[in-house]
Chains A and B, each alone.
Chain A
Amino acid sequence: MIRIDLEKAKPGMVLAKPVNNLQNMLLLKERVVLTERNIQMLRSWGVGEIWIEGGRSSEASDLAQDFDALQAAIDRELQEKFANVADDPLMMEIMRLAGKQIKRRLLRREAEHGTPAS
């Protein structure tokens, strides 16, 4: 289990410890699955941090988020690069397929080295 900022809590995460408010009143029991609604509730009670289960999976979800951002960056860069040939449908197809391959490359590297290289 790991401790995370409530800001980073996401629906589907499972509480590893009960959450109390400042007056030590129980808000949620352990093993409760977080929903958008109860995260909102914790926020309104001013809870700062919570313990959730499976530290690694939350790291993985952070990584997945980084990866989404990386993919978006690749697409942006390609669009910029192809701006002068944007009216050629064939070039647009080459752009799409190149983007697909660059993402494959990143995934492969991540599998090999554990870090997505640029």
Chain B
Amino acid sequence: MVPQHLKNVIHHLNDLPTLPRTILKITELVNNPKTSARDLAKVITDDQVLTARLLKLVNSSFYGFPQKISTVTAAIVLLGFDAIRNLLLTTSVFDLFSSKYKANKEMQEKFWDHSLGCAIGAKVIGGFLKSEQVEELFVAGLLHDIGKIVEMMILPQEFEQAVQKTQEVPITIYQAEEEVLGFTHTEVGRLLAEKWNLPYKLTKIIAHHHDPSKAGRFAEETSVVHLADIFCRALGLGSGGDERMPPLQPDAWAYFHFSSAVIDHLLQEIDRTYYDISSVLVATKVEDQSV
């Protein structure tokens, strides 16, 4: 039986913001093999905010290009279609919620910090494993907890209760959600991902990041996000709502078996990148608001 609260969530999903039209158009273009860099540049440059943001990000220390990149076409050629799409998706999702819902602002910001930390973590771990899909892992990390944002909007009191529970007893937010709501952010996240028509792989990662073995053929990618979540919580990058650690699943660890020296290296890399890029994102946001 579907719990009453979950019915409530499904009912309200239609009221949630949708992705900006430009982002949908960009996703469509990126998926089309006939698209040229010029086609993509045209859609992006039609949107001034996106253009400014893209140039700011590609010129940040996060990418570390030696020369200043001054045109959108150059950025597309240098980074590739997927990276551009993900970059723009990142910044759009980033302020999609924060601008509309003023309540719980502080907590939301901490969530986004956590999401950004996890995104960077997934990208760093993927890079270490020589994965070809580091940009995809970045987006997966960014969106893995999107269900929590939805819960916070639709069921603010119940969610607050769950958060409080984690402060009283040593349980994770995941366990507290089960007790208070009867379902968790992974199920809610999956519902939103389906509504947004996100790629199937992304939906699976969001749905199973606490138990990657259930993600079928995407178990490895899901394990990367699972570990990134643990790493950035350990480093205290933002907050996932609880100050607890989700247990590391042995099935997930089986993909890595990193030595202490490797863990140390990855933590350093994640921490440093996080502090570099979050300052750029904050600066971009402030400028947008002042326009």
Asked if A97 is an interface residue, CB under 8 A from chain B, the answer is yes
- In the bound complex, do residue A93 and residue B263 qualify as a contact, i.e. CB atoms below 8 Å apart? yes
Asked if A91 is an interface residue, CB under 8 A from chain B, the answer is yes
In angstroms, Cα B267 to Cα A78, docked, is 15
Q: Digitize A55-81: 1 where CB-to-B-CB distance is under 8 Å, 0 elsewhere.
A: 000000000000000000000011011
Residue from B170, B248, B267 within 8 A of A90 (CB atoms): B248
- In the bound complex, do residue A100 and residue B264 qualify as a contact, i.e. CB atoms below 8 Å apart? yes
How far apart are B274's CB and chain A's nearest CB, in angstroms?
A: 10
Asked if A32 is an interface residue, CB under 8 A from chain B, the answer is no
How far apart are A65's CB and chain B's nearest CB, in angstroms?
A: 23
Asked if B236 is an interface residue, CB under 8 A from chain A, the answer is yes
- In the bound complex, do residue A101 and residue B235 qualify as a contact, i.e. CB atoms below 8 Å apart? yes
The chain A residue with its CB closest to the CB of B268 is A101
How far apart are A106's CB and chain B's nearest CB, in angstroms?
A: 11
Asked if B158 is an interface residue, CB under 8 A from chain A, the answer is no
- A82: chain B residues at CB < 8 Å are 234, 245
- A97: chain B residues at CB < 8 Å are 260, 263-264, 267
- In the bound complex, do residue B245 and residue A81 qualify as a contact, i.e. CB atoms below 8 Å apart? yes
- A91: chain B residues at CB < 8 Å are 230, 245, 247-248
- In the bound complex, do residue B236 and residue A94 qualify as a contact, i.e. CB atoms below 8 Å apart? no
Residue from B170, B231, B260 within 8 A of A83 (CB atoms): B170
Asked if A2 is an interface residue, CB under 8 A from chain B, the answer is no
Asked if B233 is an interface residue, CB under 8 A from chain A, the answer is yes
Interface residues of B, dominant DSSP: helix
How far apart are A82's CB and chain B's nearest CB, in angstroms?
A: 5
The chain A residue with its CB closest to the CB of B261 is A97
- In the bound complex, do residue B253 and residue A90 qualify as a contact, i.e. CB atoms below 8 Å apart? yes
In angstroms, Cα B166 to Cα A81, docked, is 11
How far apart are B127's CB and chain A's nearest CB, in angstroms?
A: 18
Which one of A82, A85, A93, A95 has the highest number of Cβ atoms from chain B below 10 Å of its Cβ? A85
Asked if A98 is an interface residue, CB under 8 A from chain B, the answer is yes
- B171: chain A residues at CB < 8 Å are 84
- B253: chain A residues at CB < 8 Å are 90
The chain B residue with its CB closest to the CB of A78 is B234
- In the bound complex, do residue A93 and residue B244 qualify as a contact, i.e. CB atoms below 8 Å apart? no
- A93: chain B residues at CB < 8 Å are 260, 263
- A36: chain B residues at CB < 8 Å are none
Q: What are the nearest 3 A-B pairs in CB distance?
A: A98-B234, A84-B170, A101-B267
25 CB < 8 A contacts A-B: A77-B236, A80-B243, A81-B233, A81-B245, A82-B234, A84-B171, A84-B172, A85-B245, A85-B247, A85-B248, A91-B247, A94-B230, A94-B231, A94-B248, A94-B263, A95-B234, A97-B263, A97-B267, A98-B267, A100-B267, A101-B235, A101-B268, A102-B271, A104-B268, A105-B275
Listed in ascending order, the chain B residues whose CB lies under 8 Å from chain A are: 170-172, 230-231, 233-236, 243-245, 247-248, 253, 260, 263-264, 267-268, 271, 275
